Structure 1
Amino acid sequence: MNLLTILVPAYNEEDVLQQLYDRLNKVISSVPSYQFEILFVNDGSKDHTLSIIKKIRERDKGVSYLNLSRNFGKEIAMIAGLDHAKGDAVIIIDADLQDPPELIPEMIKYWEMGYDDVYAKRKSRSGESWFKKWSSSTFYKLLQKITKIPIQENTGDFRLLDRRCVEALKQIRETQRYTKGMFSWIGYHKMELLFDRDSRAAGETKWNYARLVDLAIEGITSFTTAPLRLSALFGCVVSFFSFIYIIWIVTNTLLFGASVAGYPSLMTVVLFLGGIQLLSLGIIGEYLGRIFNETKRRPLYLIDEYNNQKALNRNTDIAEVKTFVHH
């Protein structure tokens, strides 16, 4: 039988893990024609997430886990899971149960029909404020306009990926990752499933507005250079109008004898141009910072433990991550 991996990144999810496992178990039982591996990636949790995962594994050897050496963030936790997933296809699902595991059998049906990327799109988003919904919608509309690839709107990480999609994603070893954009970038045959997203089953969201803004910046700087071009274009526009203004001042003074405005106008122009320069430098700095981080060529993550065995992390080829286990 084909093996399917259910990949679950987890960070401080002690309140919901058992409930998630129970629902996944029911789904697995409803698809007897496949073998399943549930792979938890503990992203440096500070609560009892790891101990709960270990207890689940003691009862069910179909459960595997990775324990990262610290909190690297969800985007890195997902690539760590993809690096170690054994299945012919990988189903990524969040631990908070906002994405219903009961949708998995339908995903499998479309995969059997030949689709490589079966992703779940939200019809509604329960438990989220109007501002969060509005800001999310506005961001994706903006991103779609300034990028050359079709970024999926109202979709998260809940999806089924064929093995060739997984192998394609494993080749992308960027340290600052925007995986939602990568799903679109790799292409392949995609199928959309609509669903109503639930509120969290328990616990609190890890995504505050500061982290969401940071993720939005990652998305923009990862998939477009439009901000750089926009700053250059804005500089040209400001220079053009400044030149017109200079001509107007000189003409008005020489021909009509008008006095040149002093301190207030001078300060206005200086502060305006200074603001534009700082904004442009900030945009350049964002891209330069990404280059700086990428040139370090540090490993994306380090593993503390893999299925009750301490991992010995050694230097490996950047495009092929392997885990060396110390017995």
Structure 2
Amino acid sequence: MAESRQKLDIVAPFFNEAQSASAFAGLLERLEKAVSSRFGMAVHKILIDDGSRDDGAERFSLALSGSWEVVRLSRNFGKEVAVLAGLDHSRGDMVLIMDSDLQHSMDVSLQMIAELVEHPDIDVVYAQNDRREASWRRSQLAKLFYSLINSSQRFDIPENAGDFRVMRGTVARALTSLRDKRRFNKGLFAWAGFRQKAIPYSPENRAIGTSKWSRLNLIAFSLEGFTSFSVIPLRIISLSGMLAALAGVVYGAKVFFEVMFYGIAVPGYPSLMVAVVLLGGLNLTLLGLIGEYVWVTLSESKDRPVYIVRDVVRSDVSDGAAVASRG
């Protein structure tokens, strides 16, 4: 009896990517042919519509070829959750996660797959952004972020590593058991462990559409990472409070000696206002930070489903038609 072919699942979330549907479908078709010829693997494509407000799902359904399915979520749950939805629908021997905005290239995808095929002792190969185009300020902020979030951890979150990666099916199944409501995939991938290898890459220029990530989105995403995987912000605020208290003791001693030995009058209103503003600001900052952690705890304790599927459109490989199934 002939041994069945191994299968590669390609998971690609998208949100309002109708403009790039045709181009991305073409990239997937070329990637499928290359994977089939080089590695002898069958390819199944899983696209996750993260609550798009355009007709992207319909355009992908018309443009895709071969074996595929488009999973439409009931609303926009965020890219992190959409990736989980794709992993939930995956059954392949290997799983490749890539973006649908054409910034993740076919060449890097094939390089990662080759690494996984040629090295049975490796479980995950991920692409690490070399940030050649990033400004000095942005690169330094990124280094600071990873330095802080990796402090006092039993595992390290790789710097500039995103969702662009290929993993064995066992790893994908293990990741689906992590049902965090407030998801930070960089941390979850690192927390899960397994033997991982990095490959440097430079993202392709976005030829169609615009990025969905604003600066505020990135700040909120970074805060999500801290509240999910690090206690460092609380410790920084606690240390700031201790330093403020120490400064108050030193200033009080200074005032005491000036009055006792030099007869200098105690500055009343200005010193009082400085103390009130400083301590009040520290208290409000600490309360806000604690509130973020409490909100994460509350979200997890509600035990709602991470996402809801509106429906699934699958290909019928036998005749090339698309068959819709509700889920």
Pick aligned residue for 1:13 from 13, 17, 41 = 17
Pick which of 7-16 and 187-196 moved more. Answer: 187-196
Q: Distance in 1 between matches of 2:230 and 2:187?
A: 11
Matching residue of 2:72: 67
Any residues of structure 2 matched to 1:4-153 within 5 Å, and which?
4-32=8-36, 33-57=40-64, 60-112=65-117, 113-114=119-120, 115-125=122-132, 132-145=138-151, 147-153=153-159
- Structure 1 residue runs of 5 or longer lacking an equivalent are 312-327
Q: Say if 2:314 is the partner of 1:309.
A: no
Q: CA deviation at 1:189?
A: 1.0
Is the partner of 1:258 in helix, strand or coil?
Answer: coil
Q: Deviations over 1:34-83 (max 9, x none)?
A: 111100000010111111122135xx350111000000000010001111
Pick which of 190-199 and 253-262 moved more. Answer: 253-262
CA RMSD of superposed structures (Å): 1.8
Matching residue of 1:320: none
Pick aligned residue for 1:170 from 171, 176, 180 = 176
Q: Distance in 2 between matches of 1:94 and 1:265?
A: 55
Q: Distance in 2 between matches of 1:37 and 1:260?
A: 77
> Does the 8 Å CA contact 1:79/1:170 hold for their aligned counterparts?
yes
Matching residue of 1:180: 186
Q: Deviations over 1:122-157 (max 9, x none)?
A: 23455x666544543443344334644211112221
Q: Deviations over 1:243-294 (max 9, x none)?
A: 2322332333234332111111111111111111111111111111111111
Is the partner of 1:205 in helix, strand or coil?
Answer: coil
> Does the 8 Å CA contact 2:91/2:169 hold for their aligned counterparts?
no
TM-score (norm 2): 0.89
Pick aligned residue for 1:283 from 267, 284, 289 = 289
Q: Distance in 2 between matches of 1:145 and 1:86?
A: 35
Misfit runs of 4+, over 6 Å: none
Matching residue of 2:316: none
Q: Give the share of equivalent positions with the same residue, in percent.
A: 33
Q: CA deviation at 1:96?
A: 0.7
Any residues of structure 2 matched to 1:141-290 within 5 Å, and which?
141-145=147-151, 147-290=153-296
> Does the 8 Å CA contact 2:149/2:232 hold for their aligned counterparts?
no
Q: Distance in 2 between matches of 1:104 and 1:268?
A: 57
Is the partner of 1:75 in helix, strand or coil?
Answer: helix
Is the partner of 2:311 in helix, strand or coil?
Answer: strand
- 1:234–1:8 CA distance, 2 compared to 1 (3 A): same
Q: How many residues align?
A: 308
Is the partner of 2:43 in helix, strand or coil?
Answer: strand
- 1:17–1:130 CA distance, 2 compared to 1 (3 A): farther
Is the partner of 1:82 in helix, strand or coil?
Answer: helix
